[in-house]
Amino acid sequence: MSIRPFDGITPTIAESAYVDEDAVVIGDVHIGEQSSIWPGTVIRGDVNYIRIGHSSNIQDGSILHVTAPNDDNPEGLPLIIGNHVTVGHGVILHACTVEDACLVGMGATVLDGAILREKTLLAAGSLVPPGKELEGGYLWMGSPAKKVRALTETELQFFHKSCRNYMVLLGRYKCKESLNKSG
């Protein structure tokens, strides 16, 4: 894995987290307990910070980045991902906030200053424009994303099931890594 400092700040990764050897994590990034970062993912906290809570998973080929301080926003914009969040394959999250227990579908893009409130399901391929706030408890879909319907109880339960499945999988990968190092 490529864990690299930037401007003297090294990423902090919880001991129970898993970062695949083909992922890249740079700069002011914190990855919480039992979270997982999968192959081909790039997490670049170079011009602002990135925080990933516990029990979240960032799947293959996703890109996570931030916005530098600028005239319109003197502090820039960080990227915040809560706890129990599933980020599907090939997602782009740029300087936005994804609150707890959300699922971001494959290939979705969430842009600067957007907020996905707790228990949001963003459909695959959707685009969330800058500054848009998605109300939690709903399926959002399209480009730009629009509220489609309230989530079912089964869908809400799936958020935690998805995270649990990835926590089990990260344990298997960490065990395999450990065996490879000792053997």
Which CATH number does the domain housing residue 120 bear? Answer: 2.160.10.10
Decide if 23 contacts 17 (C-beta within 8 A): no
Domain that holds residue 7: 2-182
Contacts of 1 (CB under 8 A, 6+ apart): 19, 20, 21, 22, 23, 24, 25
Indicate yes or no: pTM above 0.85: yes
Of 101, 138, 134, give the one whose Cα is nearest residue 115: 134
The whole-angstrom separation of Cα 62 and Cα 37 is 9
Contact 36/18 with Cβ under 8 angstroms? yes
Q: Which residue has the tokens 């914009």?
A: 77
**Residue range 104-124, pLDDT digits in tens:** 999 999 999 999 999 999 999
Q: Would you put residue 130 in left (φ > 0), alpha (ψ -120 to 50) or beta?
A: beta
The count of domains in the chain is 1
> Tell me: the pLDDT tens digits for 30-55?
999 999 999 999 999 999 999 999 99
